[in-house]
Structure 1
């Protein structure tokens, strides 16, 4: 399955419009156009629109809700699914297109700073929804017509923001070298950074998530019909055979 991005003008128009549904920040998507592109990103000859490399997503689980045959919960492990690379690819594409536009009061090729959070939110939202669709396809679940827009994404887990290095004071190296020579060297194991979970994507972005970082999430209100896999119908014969011609 390949990522379908709207053409330049439509993509820029979409990311400036948001909706809030039940506390879940999302992007207002337009389904009235059939103009889509699946192109290789500039400067990235290895990426051809695939949600994941190899065409198979890992780290996804699909759970049936109660006795319903059309309601599902999808859980995505962002590290296993390589969502860091996918979200970065989307972000590069939409910001690259945005730099071709003219924003009043800014030089050509400059994106207004107040729009940066909007593009980050679009990249995360688009990445999550496309990943859920891919997980459904791999589990032989055919999504209903408007299922993509009705996804409810919650429990968004992200890694902690990267710490910025402080300015080094003059003479610091000599003092550290002298202290290291006098004191015994004791290597302490570095603890892995703890991920934090937020209720919504907006909270995760406000906490410091940026495109290129992975993220995990749970998607509810996933509507679709379970269908037979192609391998399960190979060689099957119809229940009623047509009458033989005389």
Structure 2
């Protein structure tokens, strides 16, 4: 099944390639300037058909230092691209990094050949010279990179509603005011700073009323911060949470 195509920063790409480029940008800690994307049949003659299919991207590095150029190549290789620095001395082109996404389902024949040459530690050019980029990533793929670097869970909303906290302490029903604000309470209980204290006890065990479970969570937080243990989300708890970056609302 072919890769899902999209338009990204004005270039034709597929979603897998875009995800890989964005991951490489995070490794490099800066966005790339794209010179050429994928699915660009006949677009640039010097590309020898490698951009005719998917998985291909050229990054502009004309204004970067020698060290920065190597760093771009390395970042792309780290996430599963076969990537090389291309210089004016090698062909009729400006300084750029040429990258092919290893394992892309839409690779052109030329791009697939370059991947094979990369794994043979060659430069991907017609002269079949030795690879001139940072070594050590020849076996890397996007799937291996994602497995080793799973995406981080988004941090829950850090806004605390005092009304929701009070309702949760005395009610079990998931309707009315509690129903409207329950997301605030659950987000607070699930937040890493609170979850580390309460072992992320977001919902009660079977047979335990919700309001009693919530009071138990509050007591754990109060005990952790050496506050009076009341089971009530009071001003003392609110003051501690504010120090931890929470926003307290009515």
TM-score, normalising length from structure 2?
0.20
Structure with higher Rg: it is: 2
TM-score, normalising length from structure 1?
0.20
Higher helix proportion (structure 1 or 2): 2
Higher strand proportion (structure 1 or 2): 1
